[in-house]
Amino acid sequence: MDTGGKCGYLMCGTFPQVHQVYLATNSVPDYFVNAEKVEQLDYGKIFPKTGEEEEEDSSTRHCRSRPSVRDLLTTKPEVAIMKMEDCGLPMADIVGKLKPLEVLSLVKQILIGFMVAEKAFEFEHRDLHMGNIMVKHTEKDTLKYMYVDKNIYLPSYNLQVKIIDTTFSRLKFKRKVYYRNLSHLFNEGEIDVEKNKKNPLSHQNQTYRAMASVIQHDWPSSYPRSNLLWCIYIIKKFLHSRAIRKDKQKYASSVRKLLSAYVSILVNMQTMHEFFSFIYQKPELNRYVPIKMEAIQFNG
């Protein structure tokens, strides 16, 4: 994402690049319908199996479930086909193989990405879970972002976040608001956490309900706090992962304490920029994987 204008300079690589979009209005070729396998990089080399992979619970399976290519292309009269960059693997698949400082970098990538997207498009994801966060290898040791009049730099540990699936999202582009009315999801009994507190989806459902409580069925309007609620959910998922749960991992205890502090701070914030400014100004909250900023130098 790269924009410039009255908001200043805004750039982040947190969202995937779309190279081309096609609209298939007639019959779809058989070779496309039958293409169930997609060629991709061998991420097994990047994230080798360690024997300590996260157990797949029903929430993970829910995030990863998807219809077949045949179902998608044979049940719709018109099909939009997007050619986009390879975003890597779902966070749900590799979270248990990450190291503590990698986790901290990925969390900060998500936070900065949302801050830039909120400024550029009043963007809210409204459905952020481990299946909608992808992780890919990058050769860049440091990731660069632009926010208004500042360049922001963050160590990557050669991993880069890509946030996908904007089905429930809300954004504003050229004075037009794009959103989805989600009120039907929150009818009495449809998402009832109290019925089964041990359900693996409980915390995710709580986040949906907390978001709905903030938005109050006013889905077209901007409520950036919804992004903070989903980031709290994601950070708590990390806090329960093997990546930082085991103290034998170097920095595990320190990162765990730092992320717990982030959760406590996010609870009381309204926008991602407010949170970013708070942690950047306090050295004890910007440790281990430090964010650095400098003023953008304008020529002439």
- Yes or no: say if 152 and 291 are a contact pair by the CB < 8 Å rule: yes
Domain assignment present for residue 188? The answer is yes
Domain assignment present for residue 300? The answer is no
Domain, as residue range, for 138: 2-295
Domain assignment present for residue 15? The answer is yes
Which CA distances in Å does 188 have to 14, 95, 111, 141, 183?
A: 35, 33, 32, 48, 11
The CATH number covering residue 175 comes to 1.10.510.10
- pLDDT given for residue 202 in this prediction: 76
pLDDT digits (tens, 9 = 90+) for 140-171: 999 999 999 999 999 999 999 999 999 999 99
In order along its 300 residues, the chain shows pLDDT tens digits of 666 555 579 999 999 999 999 887 766 666 555 555 444 444 455 455 555 445 544 444 444 445 565 665 555 567 788 899 999 999 999 999 999 999 999 999 999 999 999 999 999 999 999 999 999 999 999 999 999 999 999 999 999 999 999 999 999 999 999 999 998 887 654 444 445 455 555 788 889 989 999 998 999 999 999 999 999 999 999 999 887 887 677 899 999 999 999 999 999 999 999 999 999 999 999 999 999 999 998 775
- pLDDT given for residue 186 in this prediction: 77
Specify the number of domains making up the chain: 1
Q: What are the b/e assignments for 79-100, b being 16+ CB within 10 Å?
A: eeeeeeeebbbbbbbbbbbbbb
Domain assignment present for residue 154? The answer is yes
- Yes or no: say if 101 and 159 are a contact pair by the CB < 8 Å rule: no
- Element at 105 (helix H, strand E): helix 100-121
Cα(264)–Cα(83) distance, rounded to whole angstroms? Answer: 39
Domain assignment present for residue 201? The answer is yes
- pLDDT given for residue 268 in this prediction: 96
